[in-house]
Structures are given as structure tokens and as C-alpha cells.
A = this chain, B = another copy of it.
Amino acid sequence: MSKSVAGPEIEKLIQLLARVPGLGPRSARRAALHLIKKKEQVLTPLAEAMAVARDSVTVCTTCGNVDTRDPCTICTDPRRDNAVIIVVEDVADLWALERASAMNCLYHVLGGTLSPLDGIGPDDLNIKSLVERVSAGGVKEIIIAVNATVEGQTTAHYITDQLDGLDISITRLAHGVPVGGELDYLDEGTLTAALRSRTTL
């Protein structure tokens, strides 16, 4: 820890800011100074927004999204297609897919992936609640949008097994060349997948 230069209150603010992802010890100091200098414009509204988030943000018991209400804004949106559920690992993935605005459906946040080495089994993820949601009826398609990692694919297979026997279609995201991506920088696995799934022009 560096020498304290500005009283324990500011040092504490710096230490806590350093725990925010994207900020390290050095940038936390810079951020703290900026916040203090822009007390009215930045520090005060940010402190208030954090207090509001602390008091009001909750996890949706239906889908696992974070929101200020439960069920969340997405689950209660009447304009969404209730027949399709996209299964994601994390809320960040849900947000990313929402930003893409490609689908107007529901989500289910697993809260991670199966990882026996880290001691994460099926009971640690929101898999049971997914099976219950689907079993309750009305769902026609489950899009498994987990990351293209070993753990993600293992989890996808496990979920497929659990949903076996239910009258729904289970799909996954397509593999291929990212839009704007250069072939030269892509790995062989992606190129192979892109070639296999080639489409007619």
C-alpha cells in the first residue's frame, strides 16, 4: 500500500475504487481525484446512483437477470415472444444479446458453467429452474447461447440432456467468421466451422 497522503476517507475511497473491474490501484487514485474535484457533477450523482442500486437492485427469480423489479422488465414485457428462451451464462451475455436487438424473446441466466475442477456442479447453476420453466409449457424453442468454451459446451450438452423428452427445439448459436473479422487472425477451429456452415450467395 502506498503512503497515505490525503486522510483515511480518501484512501478508503481509492482502495474501494481499485476493486472495480477496469480500474487498478493507479487508475483508482486518478478516478478518486477526479470524483473529488468534480464533486457536484460526478461524485454526488454517482454516490446517489450507487445507493439507489444498492437498495433497489434484485435478481429476477424467473430468469436470473438483475433489475430493480422481480420479475424483471424483460420477463414482464408483454411485447416479447414467450415461446423462445435464450440460455446464457451470465447477465453480461444477456445484456450483449439485448444490445444486438436480434431477438425479442425471454432469457434464462445460468450463473456460470459446469466446471467440476472448480467444484461447480448442476445444482450450483440455474438449470433446475430452466427445466421447470420449460416443463410449465408454452416454450417452443431454447437457444443455448453459452460461450464457445469447453465448459460452455459441456453445460450445453448437460442442458440438452435435461430437456430431453420435452416437445421443444433446442438450438445453439452459429459458429463462423465474426462480422468485420479478418480470416488471417482467426483460429483453425473457427475457419473449419465457417467452411462447414457455408451458405449460398
Residue among B2, B30, B73 making CB contact with A92, cutoff 8 Å: B30
Query: What separation, in Å, do the CA atoms of A56 and B19 have in the docked complex?
Result: 22
Query: What separation, in Å, do the CA atoms of A44 and B50 have in the docked complex?
Result: 8
Given contacts A27-B22, A34-B20, A47-B51, contact A66 B9 (CB under 8 A): no
Which residue of B has the minimal Cβ distance to A53? Answer: B13
Contact call A22/B23, Cβ cutoff below 8 A: yes
For window 85-101 of chain A, which residues contact chain B by CB distance below 8 Å? 91-92, 94-95, 98-99, 101
Contact call A47/B44, Cβ cutoff below 8 A: no
Contact call A7/B42, Cβ cutoff below 8 A: no
Contact call B46/A6, Cβ cutoff below 8 A: no
Query: What separation, in Å, do the CA atoms of A48 and B2 have in the docked complex?
Result: 22
* A133 in contact (CB, < 8 A): no
For window 51-74 of chain A, which residues contact chain B by CB distance below 8 Å? 51-54, 56-57, 65-69, 72-74
Contact call A35/B20, Cβ cutoff below 8 A: yes
Contact call A56/B9, Cβ cutoff below 8 A: yes
* A43 in contact (CB, < 8 A): yes
* A21 in contact (CB, < 8 A): yes
Contact call B21/A27, Cβ cutoff below 8 A: yes
Q: Which residues of B contact A30 (CB under 8 A)?
A: 21-22, 92
Some 18 contacts from A to B, beta carbons below 8 A apart, are A6-B91, A7-B67, A7-B72, A9-B49, A9-B53, A9-B57, A10-B57, A17-B46, A19-B42, A20-B23, A21-B30, A22-B28, A23-B31, A29-B95, A33-B91, A33-B92, A36-B57, A47-B53
The 5 closest A-B pairs by CB, nearest first: A47-B50, A22-B27, A5-B98, A16-B46, A13-B49
Further pairs besides A19-B42, A22-B30, A36-B57: 9, Cβ < 8 Å: A5-B98, A6-B91, A13-B46, A13-B49, A20-B23, A20-B35, A22-B22, A39-B54, A44-B54
